[in-house]
Amino acid sequence: MLSVGVNGYGTIGKRVADAVRAQPDMVVQGVGKTSPGHVADNALAAGYSLYAPSDDEKASFEGAGTDVAGTVEDLVAESDVIVDATPGGVGEQNRTLYEQLETPAVFQGAEAPAVAETSFNARANYDEARDASYVRVVSCNTTGLSRLLAPLKETYGIETVRATLIRRGGDPDQPSRGPINDILPDPITVPSHHGPDVQTIFPSLSIDTMGVTVPATLMHLHGVNVTLESTADVDAVRDLLAKESRIFVVPESARIEGCGALREFARDSGRPRGDIWENCVWGESISVEGDEFYCFQAIHQEADVVPENVDALRAMFDLKDAAESIATTDERLGLSLRQRSRDSERVLTGRACDD
Ligand SMILES: NC(=O)c1ccc[n+]([C@@H]2O[C@H](COP(=O)([O-])OP(=O)(O)OC[C@H]3O[C@@H](n4cnc5c(N)ncnc54)[C@H](OP(=O)(O)O)[C@@H]3O)[C@@H](O)[C@H]2O)c1
């Protein structure tokens, strides 16, 4: 069993810890966090040992009556590998400690690509992380684009990609994030930095992106246009995407018209925290005009990178090949929205009748 320390137990870290614990070939050694409070209490209640970055922070936990197993340095020494899910820039600082203790690590998307030997998306470049000591799982937006582009590239070839990313202002637990009642070109400069990040996965891809930030916490929404290298049939493209385990082609019959309804659907489907690990591509939005592909997809920013972290760990330790790892992760997490969508149509219909 691979012993995994999760350093940083916020939006991403708490989900990665639960996902790791659900796997048959890895265990959670413990989780790192700076401050006591309800998140720390829930980590302990969930059975995770807590580690603090410094002795001062350890004392602050103890002062609050919260059990601490040790320092992050202890966690790094006790673990086979660390998933670093600290805020952007902290991971880069932590790398020195990981190197000193010869503990490999997975970093997250806000770190610069140079923090790791390779950037990672399981569907697109799993093998590049095989036997690597430092891997960076790309951001939620880049993960969503990579999953969509990989099958299109393999089947039709891609001449160029243009995507507008309408990004949530913050996560639900981030009251300091905005905007409030505003819509920001973000960044104002065009193209945005997202295209170059996708190129860390597909180095020679022609891609331009524009970013917008809106006052929402639910999901990101992407409007994507891909010029393919060959003409395509719309039904064939829809079938291609529907076969991808981490793409949920939202059926028209589900009557899911926006991101709020998607999250409600996930909650009704029994997903932990209402998480949606898949890209949600609206079936009705999939359009093909000759060699031009268009779609809208929603990306649950808190969740889509979670299975990717699990697969990155398996790639680094050469535990399984890409297909086996993705299948194991998906099965253990319960990625079955497509299955559930048929059930939920009945649930939704039933509710309508009840009303
Ligand atoms: N949130 C998203 O939508 C999202 C999506 C994809 C990727 N990511 C990436 O995931 C990474 C983490 O983001 P997040 O949203 O999960 O952040 P977050 O919610 O702010 O959580 C950060 C966690 O790191 C802990 N922490 C802070 N400094 C630390 C240190 N020096 N040592 C150990 N733990 C420390 C924090 O503990 P305290 O709370 O106790 O201070 C908190 O538990 C970033 O690279 C981000 O870009 C985020």
3-state SS, 8-56, equals: CCCHHHHHHHHHHHCCCCEEEEEEECCCCCHHHHHHHHCCCCEEECCHH
**Residue 325 in contact with ligand 1 by CB distance below 6 A:** no
CA distance 235 to 218: 29
For residues 45-49, give the mean pLDDT: 98
140 flagged as catalytic:
yes
pTM (whole model) above 0.85: yes
Residue nearest to atom 7 of ligand 1 (CA): 139
Query: For position 177, what pLDDT does the model report?
Result: 86
Residue given tokens 């299948």 in the structure block: 327
**Residue 85 in contact with ligand 1 by CB distance below 6 A:** yes
Q: Please, which pLDDT band fits residue 335 given cuts at 50, 70 and 90?
A: confident
Residues in the chain: 355
Q: Please, which pLDDT band fits residue 178 given cuts at 50, 70 and 90?
A: confident
Q: Sort residue 6 into left (φ over 0), alpha (ψ -120 to 50) or beta.
A: beta
**Residue 110 in contact with ligand 1 by CB distance below 6 A:** yes
Q: Please, which pLDDT band fits residue 342 given cuts at 50, 70 and 90?
A: low
- Minimum mean pLDDT among 88-97, 120-129, 170-179, 241-250: which range? 170-179
Residues of the chain with pLDDT > 70, as a percent, come to 95
Query: For position 179, what pLDDT does the model report?
Result: 83
Query: For position 180, what pLDDT does the model report?
Result: 86
Q: In what order do the strands lie in the sheet with 50-52?
A: 70-71, 50-52, 26-32, 2-7, 81-84, 105-107, 134-137, 118-120
Atom in ligand 1 nearest the alpha carbon of residue 302:
3
H or E element that contains 293? strand 292-299
Write the DSSP symbol of residue 256: -
Write the DSSP symbol of residue 189: S
Q: Please, which pLDDT band fits residue 174 given cuts at 50, 70 and 90?
A: confident
CA of 16 to the centre of ligand 1 (A): 12
Q: Is the pLDDT of residue 268 over 70?
A: yes
**Residue 30 in contact with ligand 1 by CB distance below 6 A:** no
Q: Is the pLDDT of residue 347 over 60?
A: no
Residue nearest to atom 13 of ligand 1 (CA): 87
Rounded to the nearest integer, the mean pLDDT of the chain is 94
For residues 240-264, give the mean pLDDT: 96
For residues 81-107, give the mean pLDDT: 98
Question: Helices then strands (H, E): number in the chain?
Answer: 13, 16
Q: Please, which pLDDT band fits residue 349 given cuts at 50, 70 and 90?
A: very low
For residues 133-150, give the mean pLDDT: 98
For residues 227-251, give the mean pLDDT: 96
